[in-house]
């Protein structure tokens, strides 16, 4: 009998200890945010990342009754803003809204942080498909026809990208490699000047995100020959995915997602993720994301981490195999 009581006493003490450990975690989640929160956007004002950051900040502020601001810290392809958050206090008060470049840059340049160790993925906000586009008067209506045209006119054709080391640069070089075509790379400072030159005939083709490309596609100013990802787009239903064409390396979509500095308590990560998922699923937020040509996601930390674990090595291999450089 004494052994039974002793055993029960030991179990009770263990449960009490576990409860004592759990109490601070629960209190952390309940108290968060407690103070003003800053969302760092590592790009200039006015772009898609900035628009999304301010949209989410306004909704979180309403949800929490707490001040949520957006701070733009552009520079070095997002590295300056990313580094600022990586070195911030891990208390949940400084949040990063990053894009796919955060993992691509790990292979392209020497970074002052490790994107896989110095950040905690919190929630993927959205995904973005890219399209291979040409002018409507281009005498090619498929990838095969375009590749044949380029091969028949060596030295004449080029493709545009948003800039060296960007997704559109990686996609363009992968296209050249798989189709064995001679296409000169012309980097631009963003999608707008690239599309202007595409329409003007300065470049023959370009990879453009769906948000930028939609107006050109729907107005007939450009035609899509193929799309990235694993599903066709409603705006260009006749354009196959590269997967359908048996062209590997185009499966990943671009993504926008929230991160916290490594070391942030798990309870805070879980609370922020749950609230970000709630905001992403709000009808007006989902519609605004859709208006930007993206697909709303709203994932758990585990789901977002799994995506990064899959995409990161794939981009690293493409960048190395295709000899992609920042200059």
Exposed e or buried b per residue across 169-203, where buried means at least 16 C-beta atoms within 10 angstroms of its C-beta: bbbbbbbbebbebebebbbbeebeebbebbeeeeb
Q: What angle do CA 66, 256, 245 make, to 5 degrees?
A: 160
Pick from 100, 104, 74, 77: nearest CA to 324: 104
Q: How far is CA 321 from the centre of its chain?
A: 22
Tell the burial category of 213 from Cβ atoms under 10 Å away from its Cβ (0-12, 13-18, 19+).
Answer: buried
For the stretch 168-171, contacts whose Cβ atoms lie closer than 8 Å and that sit 24 or more positions apart, written own/partner, are: 168/130, 168/194, 168/206, 168/207, 168/208, 169/324, 170/104, 170/315, 170/318, 170/319, 170/322, 170/324, 171/130, 171/132, 171/207, 171/228, 171/250
Query: What pLDDT, on a 0 to 100 scale, did the predictor assign at position 256?
Result: 98
Q: What token pair was written down for 18? A: 């576990």
Under a CB-based contact definition with an 8 Å cutoff, are residues 99 and 125 in contact? no
Q: Among residues 157, 207, 202, which one has the least CA distance to residue 183?
A: 157
Model confidence, pTM:
0.88
pLDDT at 6: 47
Return per-residue pLDDT of the chain as tens, 327 residues. Answer: 444 444 555 555 555 555 555 445 455 567 899 999 999 999 999 989 999 999 999 999 999 999 999 999 999 999 999 999 999 999 999 999 999 999 999 999 999 999 999 999 999 999 999 999 999 999 999 999 999 999 999 999 999 999 999 999 999 999 999 999 999 999 999 899 999 999 999 999 999 999 999 999 999 999 999 999 999 999 999 999 999 999 999 999 999 999 999 999 999 999 999 999 999 999 999 999 999 989 999 999 999 999 999 999 999 999 999 999 987
What was the pLDDT predicted at 327? Answer: 77
Whether the bond into 33 is cis, omega within 30 of 0: yes
d(CA 153, CA 71): 48
For 93, the 3-state DSSP assignment is coil
Domains of the chain: 35-128+253-321 (3.40.190.150), 130-227 (3.40.190.10)
């Amino acid at each position: 009998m004494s052994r039974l009581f002793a055993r029960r006493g030991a179990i009770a003490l263990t449960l009490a200890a576990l409860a004592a450990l759990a109490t601070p975690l629960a209190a952390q989640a309940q108290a968060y945010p407690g103070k003003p929160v800053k969302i760092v956007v590592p790009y200039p004002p006015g772009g898609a990342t900035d628009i999304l950051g301010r949209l989410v900040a306004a909704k979180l502020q309403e949800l929490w009754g707490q001040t949520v601001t957006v701070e733009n810290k552009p520079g070095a392809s997002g590295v300056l803003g990313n580094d600022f958050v990586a070195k911030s206090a891990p208390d949940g008060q400084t949040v990063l809204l990053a894009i796919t470049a955060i993992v691509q840059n790990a292979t392209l340049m020497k970074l002052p942080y490790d994107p896989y160790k110095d950040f905690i993925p919190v929630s993927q906000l959205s995904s973005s498909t890219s399209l291979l586009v040409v002018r409507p008067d281009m005498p090619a209506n498929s990838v095969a026809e375009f590749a044949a045209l380029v091969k028949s006119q060596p030295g004449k054709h080029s493709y545009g990208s948003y800039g060296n080391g960007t997704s559109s640069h990686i996609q363009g070089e992968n296209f050249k490699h798989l189709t064995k075509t001679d296409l000169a790379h012309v980097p631009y400072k963003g999608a707008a000047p690239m599309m202007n030159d595409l329409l003007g005939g300065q470049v023959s083709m370009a990879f453009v995100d769906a948000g930028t490309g939609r107006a050109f596609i729907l107005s007939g100013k450009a035609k899509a020959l193929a799309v990235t990802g694993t599903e066709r787009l409603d705006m260009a239903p006749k354009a196959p995915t590269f997967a359908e064409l048996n062209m590997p390396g185009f499966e990943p979509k671009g993504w926008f997602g929230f991160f916290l500095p490594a070391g942030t308590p798990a309870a805070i990560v879980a609370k922020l993720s749950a609230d970000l998922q709630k905001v992403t699923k709000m009808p007006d937020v989902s519609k605004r994301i859709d208006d930007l040509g993206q697909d709303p996601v709203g994932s758990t930390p585990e789901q977002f981490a799994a995506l990064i674990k899959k995409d990161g090595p794939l981009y690293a291999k493409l960048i190395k195999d295709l000899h992609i450089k920042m200059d």
